[in-house]
């Protein structure tokens, strides 16, 4: 079994929520997303705010382009952004969401179709390895 791709990200000037929302914008199509954090409610509201600020930018790009293929692409992205659903509940209690936020202790199992996991808190290597083993081979594990 092959492991998922692992990406190490460091924050220089961006806030965690801004960096995560921008990265998430590029990963919104392939499956559900999990964010492991010590403060799911706070991080979730910050991501939601950054996400809502990205939508007008995409709308401006849509309005300013004349390329037909780019128009179609921006329309699809904007539609996905508008229906993107986030929750701090476990996937068993709230199926059908696109992004789940929880602490490492709260995580019992990965959400279905989970192709992206963001680890924003300190966890040991054993925990990361067990998490990576549960992920599909084409998934992405991002560690801050």
The CATH number fitting domain 5-143, selected from 3.90.1580, 3.30.70, 3.40.50, 1.10.3470: 3.40.50
- DSSP secondary structure string, 58-101? HHHHHHH---HHHHHHHHHHHHHHHH--EESS-TTTSTT-SEEE
Of 108, 102, 113, 110, the closest CA to residue 132 belongs to 110
Of 113, 116, 88, 108, the closest CA to residue 21 belongs to 116
Q: What is the pLDDT along the chain (144 residues), one digit of tens a residue?
A: 678 999 999 988 779 999 999 999 887 767 899 999 999 999 999 999 999 999 999 999 999 999 999 999 999 999 999 999 999 999 999 999 999 999 999 999 999 999 999 999 999 999 999 999 999 988 999 999
Rg (CA), the chain: 16
Tokens 């600020």 belong to 53
Domain boundaries, the chain: 5-143
The pTM of the full predicted model, rounded to 2 decimals, is 0.91
């Amino acid at each position: 079994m092959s492991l998922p791709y692992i990406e190490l990200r460091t924050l220089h000037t961006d806030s965690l929520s801004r960096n995560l929302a921008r990265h998430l914008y590029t990963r919104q199509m392939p499956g559900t997303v999990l964010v492991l954090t010590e403060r799911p409610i706070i991080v979730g509201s910050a991501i939601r705010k950054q996400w809502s600020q990205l939508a007008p930018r995409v709308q401006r790009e849509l309005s300013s382009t004349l390329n037909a293929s780019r128009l179609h692409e921006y329309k699809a992205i904007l539609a996905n952004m508008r229906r993107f659903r986030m929750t701090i509940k476990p996937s068993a209690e709230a199926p059908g969401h696109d992004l789940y936020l929880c602490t490492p202790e709260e995580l019992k199992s990965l959400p279905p179709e989970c192709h992206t996991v963001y680890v924003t808190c300190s966890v040991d290597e054993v925990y990361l390895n067990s998490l990576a083993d549960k992920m599909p081979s084409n998934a992405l594990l991002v560690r801050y």
